[in-house]
Amino acid sequence: MGLGPGGGRVQEPAPAGRQGPGGRGRVRHRAGCRAAGTLLRRLHPERRRRCPVDPIRLKLALKRRPAVDAALRSAAWPVLQAQRLGAAWAAWRRGRGAYDPEFAWLPPLQGKYRGRSCFVVGTGPSLCLEDLERIRPAYSFGVNAAVLALGQTGWRPDFYLIQDEYVYQRLEAALALAASSCQLKAVWVGQNIARRFPLPVGYKTYPLHLLDHRLLHRRGWGTFRCSADCYRCVYDGYSVVFSALQLAAYLGFGPIFLLGCDCDYAQPRTHFIPCGIPQPRDSGQRIIQGHRAFRAFARQRGLRVYNCTRGGALEVYPRIPLEQAVRHAAREGRKP
């Protein structure tokens, strides 16, 4: 404060970068952007002078730097909060009967496969090609790097899901080749991918709701929900397998058998086919929390879920041998 010509007090200008009620937020946002640029320049020295911030590369880099990740999420809080509220509003409108042509393909599939069993196949290191051959007669969901196994086995998933932008960027060429050669019957991608990449004809998008997972990304944080109406939304559970479980239940499948879902990222080998997709060591704990939420959801609806994975850290569901699951699928889940 200072004295004006008439003796009155005059408000002194605020320091640069702190003017107005949102000054601290702007300073924090600029600091987060500088930290992101510094991190990317360190990871890619060849682009030290000119390093545009690629969101996909940034996401991969932040997976290895939890402290920087937390700082950036704090800086981007207003934007992430607006995205979360927008997704919640759109889901509420669809739940109230609003028509959305992008997801209109989902309601006709509701309950279509009631009474059939299916396999939801992860990409954990315990999975082997012989397992895929054994489940060929049954309905199955494949995810992510499962597309890389199509050239080595006769197994073809009836439904293929992918929802991580970085994973899609890595597998885009292999996925397009498999879809064009009719190796994949149905390719379903999260709407977040459709917003970022042009999709080939025939791909279908589902309404992925990330909840508060971009706001709160630390171990033990965040909300976990399961959707009974996948036209309204499909909730994120830090894993595309979580989305596949919700869609399998929506289509009427039951029982559901999990295969290749190790949920253990503390080991050197994290995927049955190496594809250059790293995961933080604590990812398994967040994914297991999502499975606990789906277990409660399934129990409320009388849906049986079994884990056929060899080993791994997922102890949420009852375990049964793969041989027993295959025999059950041969009786009830065999495709026509």
Q: What is the pLDDT of residues 143-202, one digit of tens each?
A: 999 999 999 999 999 999 999 988 999 899 999 999 888 899 999 999 999 999 999 999
Regarding whether 153 and 263 lie in a shared domain, the answer is yes
Regarding whether 148 and 39 lie in a shared domain, the answer is no
Please check whether residue 31 lies inside any domain of the structure.
yes
| Segments in 207-282 forming alpha helices (H) | 240-251
Helix crossing, 66-75 with 55-63: angle to 10°? 130
Helix (H) or strand (E) holding 234: strand 234-235
Regarding whether 146 and 27 lie in a shared domain, the answer is no
Residue type, 229: D
d(CA 160, CA 81): 30
The CA-CA-CA angle for residues 233, 236, 239, to 5°, reads 140
d(CA 30, CA 37): 11
Regarding whether 111 and 45 lie in a shared domain, the answer is no
276 vs 205 pLDDT, higher one: 205
Regarding whether 58 and 131 lie in a shared domain, the answer is no
Domain boundary among 75, 90, 120: 75
For 33, 138, 159, 191, 306, the CA distances from 121, given in Å and listed in that order, are 38, 12, 10, 21, 12
Residue 32 has pLDDT above 90, yes or no: no
d(CA 211, CA 70): 17
Residue 20 has pLDDT above 50, yes or no: no
Regarding whether 274 and 166 lie in a shared domain, the answer is yes
- What is the overall mean pLDDT for the chain? 82
Query: Which among 181, 180, 198 is positioned nearest to 189, based on CA atoms?
Result: 198
pLDDT band at 74 (very low <50, low <70, confident <90, very high): confident
pLDDT at 260 (0 to 100): 95
Q: How many CB atoms lie within 10 A of CB 315?
A: 11
End-to-end CA distance of the chain: 82
Average pLDDT over residues 260-268: 83
Helix crossing, 66-75 with 77-95: angle to 10°? 70
Helix crossing, 165-180 with 55-63: angle to 10°? 120
d(CA 137, CA 126): 21
Query: Which among 155, 329, 312 is positioned nearest to 241, based on CA atoms?
Result: 312
For 49, 156, 185, the CA distances from 159, given in Å and listed in that order, are 44, 9, 7
What is the pTM (predicted TM-score) of this model? 0.78
Regarding whether 266 and 231 lie in a shared domain, the answer is yes
* Domain with 322 in it: 100-333
Helix (H) or strand (E) holding 74: helix 66-75
Regarding whether 227 and 182 lie in a shared domain, the answer is yes
Please check whether residue 227 lies inside any domain of the structure.
yes
Please check whether residue 5 lies inside any domain of the structure.
no
Please check whether residue 10 lies inside any domain of the structure.
no
Please check whether residue 225 lies inside any domain of the structure.
yes
Please check whether residue 182 lies inside any domain of the structure.
yes
d(CA 156, CA 154): 6
Highest averaged pLDDT of the listed ranges 19-33, 206-220, 288-302? 288-302
Q: What is the pLDDT of residues 41-55, one digit of tens each?
A: 554 444 444 445 566
Regarding whether 287 and 178 lie in a shared domain, the answer is yes
Query: Is 301 in contact with 111 (CB distance < 8 Å)?
Result: no
Residue type, 32: G
Please check whether residue 7 lies inside any domain of the structure.
no
Regarding whether 205 and 58 lie in a shared domain, the answer is no
What is the tally of structural domains in the chain?
2
Domain boundary among 75, 110, 142: 75
Query: Is 224 in contact with 213 (CB distance < 8 Å)?
Result: no
Please check whether residue 93 lies inside any domain of the structure.
no
Regarding whether 193 and 59 lie in a shared domain, the answer is no
At a CB cut-off of 8 Å and minimum separation 6, what does 64 contact? 278, 280
What 3-state DSSP class applies to 281? coil
Compute and round to an integer the Cα radius of gyration of the chain.
23
At a CB cut-off of 8 Å and minimum separation 6, what does 90 contact? 100, 207, 233
Regarding whether 307 and 244 lie in a shared domain, the answer is yes
Query: Is 263 in contact with 284 (CB distance < 8 Å)?
Result: yes
